[in-house]
Amino acid sequence: MEFVEFLHRELVLNKGLDLLWNKTVALDPEYIAGYLYDPTVTNFIKRNLNKKFKTKFCDQEIYNSINKIVAEAIPLEKIKTIKIKKEAKKKVPVDIIIADPILNKSIELPESVPPQTV
């Protein structure tokens, strides 16, 4: 354990050992491998494969591929990394209307002026 060198009294008193243990357990390969089978992860993989290869994949095909990943050692140089592009959200111009209780009328602000709260 590479974190043992940082062990001191303050760490023990402030539940530092619990945090260290939790982090060690969380990063355990067996624990992380379990997340690969989560429906959220498998749906993400399936959706991206469908988009990229224009082919439909079923859940069983994804699970078989994950089983291969877990069961077989893959040399790091053979792993093809991908970059996920986030779609930019389009800004829709919105007029902001603030009711002024003193003047009893509404004031329309341009988009560039942020509303201020009192």
In this structure, is residue 97 part of a structural domain? no
Q: pTM for this one?
A: 0.56
Q: Which residue has the tokens 């992380």?
A: 32
Q: What digits encode the pLDDT tens for the residues 41-74?
A: 999 999 999 999 999 999 999 999 999 988 998 8
Tell me the average pLDDT of the chain.
77
In this structure, is residue 64 part of a structural domain? yes
Q: Give 38-43 contacts, CB < 8 A, sequence gap 24+.
A: 42/66
In this structure, is residue 54 part of a structural domain? yes
CA dist., res. 35 & res. 42, Å (int): 9
Q: What digits encode the pLDDT tens for the residues 22-38?
A: 888 889 988 999 999 99
In this structure, is residue 18 part of a structural domain? yes
Cβ neighbours of residue 1 under 8 Å, at least 6 residues apart?
24
In this structure, is residue 104 part of a structural domain? no
In order of 20, 56, 67, the CA distances from 50 in angstroms are 39, 5, 19
In this structure, is residue 92 part of a structural domain? no
In this structure, is residue 115 part of a structural domain? no
CA 74 to chain centre: 24
Q: Give the alpha-carbon dihedral of 89, 95, 100, 106, to 10 degrees.
A: -150
Range(s) of the domain holding residue 51: 4-78
Cβ neighbours of residue 102 under 8 Å, at least 6 residues apart?
none
